[in-house]
Amino acid sequence: MISVAAIRMQQFGVQFYQASLTASDIDKLVRFEVLSYGESGQPVRGGKKKTPSKVNWDLLERRIASSEKAYQRQIIRRKIDELVQYYEQCRQARDLPSIPGAVIISCDEKLSFEPVESGAVVGRLKVPEREGILRAIDGQHRLLALHADIENIRDQDFSVPAIIFDRLPEDHIVQMFVTINAKHTRLNSSHLVTLSGRQLYRDESLAAAHDIVRALNDREDSPLYGEIKLLGVGHGRVAQAPLAQELKKLFAAEAFGGARKTADFREDGKKFYVNYFKQVAVVFGAAWNGRKYSIRSATALRAFIRVAPDVVRRLDQEHADRSDFRAIGRVIAPWGRRIGDQRFESEGAWKRSGTTVDTLARELKLALEYPEGAGV
């Protein structure tokens, strides 16, 4: 048995529990299954994309069973890929939870509940420690993505909120599943456009950060044109939020030369960052245009954003315009000599050194401080 913190709840005579499960509990106890579509049916929908996936689909598909008694629909490959990317962004940024809402689970066996005191609704829920004893009613994609990313989550303090029913009749489970999933509320495109405007951000630092990220994604001369997911939508590979949060911190800390200069830079930041990343793409040309590099990952882009104040400081020392394309190129030229394209090879130095935003930012700053390698 495993013992988890829980609240005993009741609605219309039905008893269930709101509990906290660890990632390891989920990985071991939950079984994943979809409704059988016949011998030719596949449990996963969507062909393998040409772009690399962080999901080991061969292993994951073996974990998904299919049966005529199941009720879940086919797993959507794209949805799992997007969730795993989102979990990675949450893990790196550490400012958003990846599964903040409760998943709904049914248990095949009777559960026992021990209240902290007589009559209390708070206590410990005892769950038989048997593989696959739990089934997901709502949240199967979220839990499958967690399973796909478990090696990065297992050793962390990670709790999943869950609503757990025990021995719920099959017809009731199917009725609940249909009720939850029959209609999906979707934001229409015009509403998303409205939300992506500045009016969403009351904080001036975040508003400025939003403008810069939009410029990087929307301007055709930007090397990141069309590569950023704005508010979670679009074809981009990098989410808007981690980049915007990184920029917000710089503006909030007045990192661009004090309050007045930082305030002025909010207006010029779009031009600077577009030209800055254009020069980054020149300095690391092979990595930026290659397929087996991580230079355009959220981690690398955040590191480049983080060291931008150091680049601006050098431009100020040279009395150059902060947005001058050639001047920016002169300042960051040492990166090509000191760091080089190989540093960003996904299966090479990037992976071997366990690259984080902090470690890469330190390397970039050192290269600016000691352009010829002296003093290192």
- Write the pLDDT tens digit of every residue in 81-129: 888 888 888 887 777 888 988 999 999 888 999 999 998 999 999 998 8
Domain match, 226 and 334 both: yes
Instruction: Give the C-alpha separation, 71 to 182, whole Å.
Output: 13
Mean pLDDT, the chain, rounded, equals 84
Specify whether 288 is located in the same domain as 340: yes
- What pLDDT, on the 0 to 100 scale, is given for residue 296? 94
Residue 175 lies in a domain: yes
Is 55 or 283 the better-scoring residue by pLDDT?
A: 283
Q: 172 and 255, same structural domain?
A: no
Q: Which domain holds residue 280?
A: 189-369
Residues 277-316 pLDDT 10s: 999 999 999 999 999 999 999 999 999 999 999 999 999 9
- Looking at the fold, whether 83 and 58 belong to one and the same domain comes out as yes
- Of 163, 181, 199, the domain-final residue: 181
How far is 141 from 135, CA to CA, in rounded Å? 12
Distances 114 to 10, 17, 65, 119, 128 between C-alpha atoms, Å:
16, 12, 33, 10, 14
What's the confidence (pLDDT) of residue 375? 45
Instruction: Using pLDDT thresholds of 50, 70 and 90, give the confidence band for residue 190.
Output: low
Give the strand pairing for 134-138 and 30-35.
parallel
15 — phi, psi (to 5°)? -100, 135
Asked if residue 233 has pLDDT above 80, the reply is: no
* Residue after which a domain boundary falls, among 154, 181, 208: 181
Which of residues 181, 204, 235 is at a domain's end? Answer: 181
Q: What pLDDT digit, counting tens, does each position of 321-330 carry?
A: 999 999 999 9
Band the pLDDT of 39: cuts 50, 70, 90. Answer: very low
Residues 171, 239 share a domain: no
- Select the more confidently predicted residue: 375 or 2: 2
> pLDDT at position 66, please?
73
- Which residues are CB-neighbours of 169 under 8 A, at least 6 positions away? none
Question: Do 358 and 224 belong to one domain?
Answer: yes
Q: How far is CA 368 from CA 314, 316, 359, in A?
A: 9, 14, 15
The pTM (predicted TM-score) of the whole model is 0.60
Nearest in space to 43 (alpha carbons), one of 77, 7, 18:
77
Same domain? 158 vs 288? no
Is 286 part of a structural domain of the chain?
yes
Same domain, yes or no, for 13 and 98? yes
- 80 lies in the same domain as 160: yes
Percentage of the chain with pLDDT > 90?
Answer: 43
pLDDT of residue 185: 56
Residue 376 within a domain: no
Do 264 and 159 reside in the same domain of the chain?
no
Query: Which residue has better confidence, 4 or 55?
Result: 4
**Dist. CA 19–CA 161, nearest whole Å:** 6
55, 129: one domain:
yes
CB 229 within 8 A of CB 239: yes
- Within a domain: residue 375? no
Q: What is the largest CA-CA distance in the chain?
A: 75
In a domain, 311, yes or no: yes
Q: How many domains does the chain have?
A: 2
- Together in a domain, 126 and 235: no
